[in-house]
Chain A
Amino acid sequence: MSVRRVMGTEVEYGISVQGAPTANPMVASSQVVNAYASATVRARRARWDFEEESPLRDARGFDMSRQVADPSQLTDEDLGLANVILTNGARLYVDHAHPEYSTPEVVSPLDIVRWDKAGEQVMLDAARLAQNLPGNPSIVLYKNNTDNKGASYGAHENYLMRRSTAFVDIVRHLTPFFVSRQVICGAGRVGKGQDGREQGYQISQRADFFEVEVGLETTLKRPIINTRDEPHADPEKYRRLHVIIGDANLSEIATYLKVGTTALVLAMIEDKFIAADLTVDTPVASLRAVSHDPTLKQTVTMTDGRKLTGVQLQMEYLDLARKYVEDRLGADADEQTLDVLARWEDVLNRLESDPMSLADQLDWVAKLKLLEQYRSRDGLAWDDAKLQLIDYQYSDVRPEKGLYHRLVKAGRIQRLLNDDEVERAMTEPPEQTRAYFRGRCLEKYAAHVAAASWDSVIFDLPGRESLQRVPTMDPLRGSKAHVGGLIDASDTAEALVAALSR
C-alpha cells in the first residue's frame, strides 16, 4: 500500500584498463572482484550457492529448455568467475564481462539509495585495490549502460510481488509507466541508435536497446517487461519482478524516485486499483521517441486516442497514486511514501515548466546542462569527441575524475545521504530483511560459512561431516528483530546453528 516492499538493485559497471584497450574485460573484472574479496573478506571465502537459482523459469508458466537457451542466459553455472558475498549482505561478482554489485534486500526506496551508493564505493575501492596486483593494472569503472558502439549492460531492479497478481495486469499497467518514467530517471546519453551513429542527445542510456514488449531474454531482444521468474522466496506466495529497463543512476534523487514511484505503481497493480486503461500504442517505438526528445514535447498515442507527452503520462500515474494513498492509508501514510509523492509531483511540474531547473536533481538534466555549457563556450557540434567523453566521464566512479562527483563537490547536485551513511552501508547490512542474517554471519563466522546465497547460508562446522544449510526462504525473516539477539549471544557458528535448530 506504500513505497515499502522487499526490493534490490543489480548494476553492471563499465570497465576499462587504462593504456590497454584490448585487455580482456573478464580478466579485469575478476581482478577487481578478487582484489576486494582478498582485502576485505576474512579467513576463507564463502562461495555463492547456486542451488535455488533458476534463470530460465518464465513468469508466464513454462521453463525454457537449456538446449534453446543462449549461453549468455546461463548465469547459474559457476563459471569459475569471481563471486563473493559481503558483510552488508550484498553480492559482488563477475557477470559476463562486467563487475556487478547486487544490493542486499531492503524495504524502502531510501535504503535502495543507501546500499546502491555503497556499491559505487565498493567498486571504487575494488578498482583501487586491483592496482596492487601483479602488473599494476589501472582499472577504471563507469556506472553507465552503453559504450555508444552497440554494447549495453544493465542496471536491474527487483521487486518482490504477490504471486496472486495476474502477470497480464503487471504487463498492462506497467508498460506505459516504463515507457514514460525515463523523463525522471533517464541518465542521459550523447548519441542515438544502439551504436550511437545518429548525432544528438537523448534522455535514456538504455531506450535504444529495447526491442520487444515482453520476454525472458536480457542480453538480446531486450523486453520492456522481463518475465524472468526466480523469486528466491516461496514461489507459491511470491514472484520477483525483474526490471531490466532502467538506467544506472548516479543521482540519489533519481534512484530514489525510480524505485519509489515504481513501488507505488506495483502496489496499485496488486490492489487492482488502476481501472483506467493507459495502454500506449507501439510501446517500443514510443519508448525511443520519448527518449529522443529532450525538449519533452514528443507525444505518445494512447489506445483511447489521446496524445500525451511522457511527463503527462507520468502525471496520470501520479494522480492515481495520490488517490490510492489517500484511499488506503489516509492520515496513516508513512513519511517516505508522502515524500516520494511530493517529490514526484514537484519534479513533474518542473519538467513541464522549466526542465533545466532540475539540473541539481536528475542525471539527464545535469549532464545536458554541462554539455550545453560546453557547446556554447567552445562551439562544439553534437558529434564532437569531447561531448562523448563528458558523457562517459560523468559516470566515472572516481571522486577526483567523475564529473557527477565534481558537480556534487561543487554543490551543484543535491543528495539524500551523506558520505558517512554510505560508507557504513559498505559493511553493515540492512536490518529489516534476511540480508541481516547473511551479512552478520559473514561478519562474525566467516571461517565457518562455506557458501551463501539469497535464500541460504551454509555452514561448515568443526567435527561435522556434512554441511549445515540454513534456508532463508522468507525475505522478511532473519531480520535484526528475529536473529539479532541470537547472533549477539552466539560466540561461535556451532552455537548459532545449535540455537537455530532448537
Chain B
Amino acid sequence: MANEVCFRTLHLDEPWTLESYLSVGGYQSLKKILTEKIPADDIIEQLKISALRGRGGAGFPTGLKWSFMPRQTEGQKYIVCNSDEGEPGTCKDRDILRYNPHQLIEGMAIAGYCIGADTGYNYIRGEFWEPYSRFDNALKEAREAGYLGDKLFGTDFNFELHSHLGGGAYVCGEETALLESIEGKKGQPRFKPPFPAGFGLYGKPTTINNTETLASVPVIVEKGGQWFLEHGKPDNGGTKIFAVSGNVKRPGNYEIDMGTPFSELLEMCGGMKDGYKLKAVIPGGSSSPVIPGDQMMDVTMDYDGIQAAGSMLGSGAVIILDDKVCMVNALARLSHFYQEESCGQCTPCREGTGWLSRIMHRIEHGHGKQEDLDLLDKVAGDIMGRTICALGEAASMPVKGFLKHYRDEFQYHIDHKKCMVGAGSK
C-alpha cells in the first residue's frame, strides 16, 4: 500500500484543505493527546518503537532526539521544522506542504507538546512560493478552527506556529544555519557543541526536525509505533517518500514501505524510458555516493540497505542516471552546485569546493591532466571531516563515489579531451 502516512489525503479533490484533512481523521491525534493528557514520555516511547528516523538525510532516531530536550527546565523552548528542502533531486517536503500541510501542523503541535515548546517555526525554502502560501493558508485555517493558539481543545496547552520563507541558500538546510537565518543573520552553520537542544533558536533549547518526520508523527500517534515499524524494517520503521527523477517513465514522489527493493520502486515508476538503460543511481540526494545500476537492483530502499551498498538513504531523492549520461558532466554540475552553496565560513569547504569545481570544469572541457584524478580524490578527502558542518562531506562524497565507480570515464576525458558516452561531448 502506498500513500498511507504523509500523503494520506492525496486521493481527495483538494487534499490541502482543512476539510480534507479532517475527513481522514486529522487533528484527532492532537486532540486525544491533549484531552486525555497522555504523558509526553509515552508518545516519545511510541516514536522509539516506531523506529522513525530523521527524514532530512541524517537518519537520526526522532524519539531519541526529542528525549534530549530539557523538558522539565523552565523557560522558552522551540520546535522548528526544516522545510528548506534544497538537496538536489529532493522534492518530497514540497509536496507535503502543497498537499497535506495540516498534517505537518498537527505533527509540530504534538512535538511542541512533547518537548514543552509553545512556539514553532516552519522554515520554508526560499523558492517554494506556492508551498509557502499553501502552508500559510493552512495556518490560517488551523488558527480559525482552534487547532493553533491558546488553550487548544480547552486544555492548558498553547501552541503558535509561524512560517518563515528562506532567502535561497542551500546551507540553510543545515539546522544551525537555519536557526541563524530565522534570527535574521547570515545563514552560516554554528560550531557544535553547543547543540540546539541546549542552545538553539535565540539561544533557547530547540528541536529541529524535517518536514516528513514531523508529518509522520500524527499517524504514528494514531496507529501506534508498532504499526509504523511494521511498514518498514527493524531500525528502519515506517514508510518513506522517495522522489524519483531521471529518465524513468513516471518520475515523481512515491510514499512506500521502507525496505522495498529498488527494483520494485523502478517498476512503480514504469521502468526506464524507452531507449534508455539504467546506468547508475544516486540513491539519497546529490550528496550521497553514486551506485552502479546493476548493483542497485539488489538493494532495498532503507537506511541500512543503502548503507550496505556504500551510499546513504539521505533525503530519499533517487536520481536515476541512464546510459546517455556523462558521469564527468554530472559530477562537474554537482561540484559547481556545492561551490555555489558553500557558505564560505570555514576554510576547507570555502576553498575546497571551489577547487573541486574548477578542476571538474577543466576536465569536462578537455583540459584535464593525469594528476587531476588523484588530486580530486585528495582534495575531497582533505575537506571531509574538517569542516564546521556537513556541507563539506556533501561536496566530497559525490567526488569520491564517481571516481570510485567511473574512473574510466574521467580517464577518457583526460586522454581524448572528449566524452566517452557521447552525450556530454565537448
| Chains A and B are bound partners | no
Q: Which residues of A are interface residues toward B (Cβ below 8 A)?
A: none
